[in-house]
């Protein structure tokens, strides 16, 4: 079979994506007026009597505010907010949300203020727009953990105030992902990773499968383009054959359901690309070995009819043991309800059947968005208590207050979002249902009841029998926790056993509380030693003003809490001292010239040499002490800049180093021109070695690290250190520090690594 061009593959993709997409996409380069008409048509479809004057006004204001602005695609910018509003209309949201969707960029990109929006529309619309504006961009960069965690905190606080803020943000992200092809390749991968880690799981948490499905597929398209288009081609190849088979099954099921006197709609649904890809990876199978590429869905009037239809299906086909799930009796945390059963089809291949009511179907498609339908009066309805149903959101908001360490918060949050897709249901002795992440233990169950139960736990009974504390809970287990007042509390080993983020957080919280006094004393000692090491006077820094700055930065209620966190290792003492000292310096500026600071490190006072021992020329100064920064690791060929340190000469950084880019204004006067000596690269080739560091992103597989390190061995490049971690989605991040002679050698190495199978991207660290 001849290899298809990208254009041919994209054509195939459009043909078979129709059955996979929930939210209706809009074509590129559509006239804004046509888009606006489409928006109004969709709104009037689900609420024909609505007053569209507010939407009309929003469109006029946004058009004027964005006049002259263009997107990367070359389209007028107004196209973007209109498409966001259309996505919100497809979710059948209230007009306030749609208006906020149209206006969501006007505060950020134009001079229109929140107050003016409130005056023109309402306080409700202004708050929604302001909420979206304040969220900003979530950073994927692992070296910006604090920035990312702060933005995640903002997102969940915004959700607590009004979940519609996040619905607008999801619509915004969905349209940006649809137009991602106009961005640079490295930006495409960054946005796709961010979407797969945060936005798609969030859409699933909110129960909005229509959005989640498309975000998943689009992320896969840019993270694994070869695998994605290979999937497209293979699915398209057998599409007609598969369609015939699905239609015959649907006809057969519909006939038997009708004969049982059950009113129902029956249709087939193709599994989306990412779902198929995940099965192939998890089960290590080819697409030809995956049978359930589709499901048959039965939608009925009542819960009684759901179970009646299930009986009909199990009479028609042989059910596979262990593959029946009753999400009606035990709904998922995102309110999803259905009966799922997998049966053996006429040709011997298994397929899934989903049975639900029309109301359940609406909730499965729209999730939390289903509760913002227009009232008959035409006014946007508010949802009283809907957020209360989202226990996971309450849990995350509790973490906001309990966890000060940004890295821990970010890690817990991503873990919690990703664990959600697989859950296990179990019962308390009184018959209450608890849902936990798949693989949970009795310890997870105990902390799901209450932290006091978990802290006093000494054992557990499952279905009346004592079990080990690391027993893996199965669906339908009845669990009883054995507690004692005399226990010393949880063990640190439990952190390696538990599966749920809730249990991990509560165990960590117990240890934080128990050892607070000890940690406060240790924190004080660490601060004193750190200040002494850096040559700072702690008496100058340890003032209420600077303590307040640190408390606010890390979200602590008191200085004692801050000291306890330092003592526990939740935040680094050096980081605290540096921030306090930077604030102190700002209050006590000392004008020192570069020459004065560097005088301590001058040689004999002779004229500047053509190059230093490091191959660096510092323009216009006498012989000075020069060292390479460890944050960005410059090598010959990089554009560089010098930073005059106090007491350690000149530190050489790359000009794209994050630390230099984010340097406070009052520190920028210490930057100084620096350049490589003309023969620095030649010196490198003769044996001079410069440390540098790269991050490698790839789909994890057996032998990936071996293939990468083999390239270093072949090129006789010494590796200094390797660190590797893998996300829940199977994306490996490998950080390698090594010695190189020049930027050219580094460039050739990176290009070679990019050719390794499964590699997504390779980039140098920038501080």
Which helix (H) or strand (E) segment is 653 a member of? strand 650-654
Query: Which pLDDT does position 383 carry in this prediction?
Result: 41
Same domain, yes or no, for 251 and 153?
no
| Mean pLDDT of the 760-767 span | 83
At 299-352, the pLDDT tens digits run 999 999 999 999 999 999 999 887 888 888 888 777 789 999 999 988 888 889
Quickly count: other Cβ atoms within 10 Å of residue 515's Cβ: 14
Same domain, yes or no, for 212 and 111?
yes
**Residue finishing a domain among 655, 683, 711:** 683
- Is 109 an annotated catalytic residue? yes
Same domain, yes or no, for 760 and 696?
yes
Q: How far is CA 536 from CA 475, 546, 584, 592, 727, in A?
A: 59, 14, 11, 17, 40
Percent of the chain at pLDDT above 90? 18
Same domain, yes or no, for 267 and 338?
yes
Residues 6 or more apart whose Cβ sits within 8 Å of residue 435? 330, 332, 333, 423, 424, 425
Straight-line distance from the first to the last Cα atom of the chain, in angstroms, rounded to the nearest whole number:
48
Query: Which pLDDT does position 371 carry in this prediction?
Result: 58
Give the CATH number, domain containing residue 218. 1.10.3210.10
Residue 14: inside a domain, yes or no? yes
Residue 137: inside a domain, yes or no? yes
Q: Of residues 109, 386, 679, 707, which has the active-site annotation?
A: 109
Tell me the C-alpha distance between 592 and 585, whole Å.
Answer: 12
Query: Which pLDDT does position 134 carry in this prediction?
Result: 64
Residue 179: inside a domain, yes or no? yes
The string of DSSP codes covering 16-58 is: HHTTT-SSPP--TT--HHHHHHHHHHHHHHH-TT---HHHHHH
Query: Which pLDDT does position 349 carry in this prediction?
Result: 81
Task: Tell me whether strands 616-618 and 671-676 are parallel, antiparallel or unpaired.
Answer: antiparallel
Q: Are 129 and 112 in contact (CB under 8 A)?
A: no
At 548-585, the pLDDT tens digits run 888 887 778 788 888 888 887 778 888 888 888 888 88
Cα 522 off chain centre by: 35
Strand order in the sheet with 690-699: 719-726, 731-740, 690-699, 759-764
Tell me the C-alpha distance between 219 and 197, whole Å.
Answer: 10
Tell me the C-alpha distance between 130 and 665, whole Å.
Answer: 28
Is the confidence at residue 283, as pLDDT, over 90?
A: no
| Mean pLDDT of the 149-155 span | 59
Residue span of the structural domain in which 269 resides = 237-372
Residue 431: inside a domain, yes or no? no
Same domain, yes or no, for 215 and 259?
no
Query: Which pLDDT does position 80 carry in this prediction?
Result: 92
Farthest CA pair distance, the chain: 103
Is the confidence at residue 382, as pLDDT, over 60?
A: no
The number of distinct structural domains making up the chain is 5
Give the CATH number, domain containing residue 258. 3.30.460.10
Is the confidence at residue 459, as pLDDT, over 80?
A: yes
**What are the helix (H) ranges across 326-390?**
358-366, 386-389
Query: Does residue 454 or residue 150 have the better pLDDT?
Result: 454
Strand order in the sheet with 671-676: 616-618, 671-676, 640-644, 650-654, 626-628
Same domain, yes or no, for 101 and 178?
yes
Q: Are 444 and 436 in contact (CB under 8 A)?
A: yes
Residues counted in the chain: 767
Give the CATH number, domain containing residue 751. 3.30.70.260
Same domain, yes or no, for 295 and 252?
yes
**Residue finishing a domain among 341, 372, 403:** 372
Residue 358: inside a domain, yes or no? yes
Counting Cα atoms < 13 Å in the Cβ hemisphere of 358 gives: 5
* Residue 58 tokens, joined: 């929003």
Q: Are 241 and 226 in contact (CB under 8 A)?
A: no
Same domain, yes or no, for 242 and 351?
yes
Is the confidence at residue 244, as pLDDT, over 90?
A: no
Same domain, yes or no, for 147 and 202?
yes
Residue 401: inside a domain, yes or no? no
Same domain, yes or no, for 93 and 199?
yes
SS3 label, residue 507: helix
**Residue finishing a domain among 627, 652, 683:** 683
Q: Give residue 673's pLDDT band: very low, low, confident or very high (50, 70, 90).
A: confident
Q: Of residues 108, 265, 669, 751, which has the active-site annotation?
A: 108
Same domain, yes or no, for 178 and 313?
no
Q: If we measure between CA atoms, which residue out of 673, 671, 634 comes closest to residue 653?
A: 634
Same domain, yes or no, for 568 and 663?
no
Residue 283: inside a domain, yes or no? yes
- Is 108 an annotated catalytic residue? yes
At 471-527, the pLDDT tens digits run 998 877 889 999 988 888 898 889 889 988 888 888 888 887 777 778 888 889 889
Residue 309: inside a domain, yes or no? yes
Tell me the C-alpha distance between 340 and 66, whole Å.
Answer: 48
Tell me the C-alpha distance between 521 and 77, whole Å.
Answer: 56
Which helix (H) or strand (E) segment is 227 a member of? helix 225-237
Is the confidence at residue 608, as pLDDT, over 50?
A: no
| Average pLDDT along the chain | 79
């Amino acid at each position: 079979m001849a290899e298809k061009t990208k254009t041919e593959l994209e054509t195939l993709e459009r043909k078979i994506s129709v059955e996979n997409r929930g939210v209706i996409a809009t074509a590129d380069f559509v006239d804004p007026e046509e888009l606006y008409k489409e928006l109004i048509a969709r709104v009037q479809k689900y609420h024909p009597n609505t007053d569209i004057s507010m939407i009309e006004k929003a469109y006029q204001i946004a058009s004027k505010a964005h006049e002259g602005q263009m997107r990367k695609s070359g389209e007028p910018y107004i196209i973007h907010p209109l498409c966001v509003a259309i996505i919100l209309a497809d979710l059948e949201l209230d007009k306030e949300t749609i208006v906020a969707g149209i206006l969501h960029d006007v505060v950020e990109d134009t001079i229109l203020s929140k107050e003016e929006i409130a005056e023109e529309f309402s306080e409700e619309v202004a708050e929604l727009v302001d909420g979206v504006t304040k969220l900003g961009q979530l950073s994927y960069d692992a070296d910006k953990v604090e920035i990312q965690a702060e933005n995640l905190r903002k997102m969940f606080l915004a959700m607590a105030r009004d979940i519609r803020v996040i619905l607008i943000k999801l619509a915004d992200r969905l349209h940006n992902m649809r137009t991602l092809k106009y961005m640079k390749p490295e930006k495409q991968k960054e946005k796709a990773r961010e979407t797969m880690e945060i936005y798609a799981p969030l859409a699933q948490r909110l129960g909005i499968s229509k959005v989640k499905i498309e975000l998943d597929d689009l992320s896969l398209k840019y993270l694994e383009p070869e695998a994605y288009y290979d999937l497209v081609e293979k699915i398209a190849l057998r599409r007609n054959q598969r369609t015939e088979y699905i239609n015959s099954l649907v006809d057969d099921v519909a006939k038997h359901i009708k004969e049982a006197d059950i009113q129902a709609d029956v249709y087939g649904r193709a599994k989306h690309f990412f779902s198929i890809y995940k099965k192939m990876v998890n089960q290590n199978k080819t697409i030809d070995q995956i049978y359930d590429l589709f499901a048959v869905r039965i939608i009925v009037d009542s819960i009684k009819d759901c179970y009646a239809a299930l009986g009909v299906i199990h009479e028609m086909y042989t059910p596979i043991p262990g593959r029946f799930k009753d999400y009606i009796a035990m709904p998922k945390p995102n309110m999803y309800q259905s009966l799922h059963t997998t049966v053996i089809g006429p040709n011997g291949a298994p397929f899934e059947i989903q049975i639900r009511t029309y109301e359940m179907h609406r909730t499965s498609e729209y999730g939390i968005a289903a509760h913002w339908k227009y009232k008959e009066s035409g006014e946007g309805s508010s949802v009283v208590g809907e957020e209360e149903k989202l226990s996971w959101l309450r849990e995350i908001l509790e973490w906001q207050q309990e966890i000060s360490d940004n890295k821990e918060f970010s890690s817990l949050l991503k873990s919690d979002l990703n664990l959600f897709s697989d859950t296990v249901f179990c019962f308390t002795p009184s018959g209450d249902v608890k849902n936990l992440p798949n693989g949970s233990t009795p310890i997870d169950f105990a902390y799901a009841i209450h932290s006091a139960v978990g802290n006093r736990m000494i054992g557990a009974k499952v279905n009346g029998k004592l079990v080990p504390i690391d027993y893996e809970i199965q669906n339908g287990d009845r669990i009883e926790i054995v507690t004692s007042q005399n226990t010393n509390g949880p063990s640190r080993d439990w952190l390696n056993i538990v599966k749920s983020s809730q249990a991990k957080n509560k165990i960590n919280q117990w240890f934080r509380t128990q050892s607070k006094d000890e940690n406060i004393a240790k924190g004080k000692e660490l601060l004193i030693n750190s200040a002494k090491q850096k040559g700072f006077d702690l008496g100058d820094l340890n003032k209420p003003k600077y303590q307040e700055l640190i408390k606010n930065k890390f979200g602590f209620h008191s200085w004692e809490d801050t000291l306890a966190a330092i003592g526990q290792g939740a935040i680094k003492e050096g980081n605290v001292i540096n921030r306090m000292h930077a604030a102190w310096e700002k209050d006590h500026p000392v004008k020192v010239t570069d020459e004065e600071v560097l005088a301590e490190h001058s040689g004999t006072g002779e004229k500047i040499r053509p190059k230093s021992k490091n191959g660096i020329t510092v323009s216009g100064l006498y012989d000075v002490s020069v060292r390479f920064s460890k944050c960005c690791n410059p090598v010959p060929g990089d554009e560089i800049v010098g930073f005059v340190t106090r007491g350690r000469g000149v530190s050489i950084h790359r000009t794209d180093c994050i630390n230099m880019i984010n340097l406070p204004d009052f520190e920028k006067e210490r930057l100084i021109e620096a350049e490589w000596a003309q023969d620095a690269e030649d010196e490198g080739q003769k044996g001079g070695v410069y440390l540098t560091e790269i991050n490698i992103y790839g789909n994890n597989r057996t032998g990936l690290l071996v293939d990468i390190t083999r390239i270093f061995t072949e090129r006789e490049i010494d590796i200094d250190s390797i660190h590797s971690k893998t996300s829940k989605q199977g994306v490996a991040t490998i950080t390698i520090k090594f010695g190189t002679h020049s930027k050219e050698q580094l460039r050739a190495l990176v290009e070679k690594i990019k050719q390794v199978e499964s590699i997504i991207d390779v980039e140098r660290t920038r501080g």
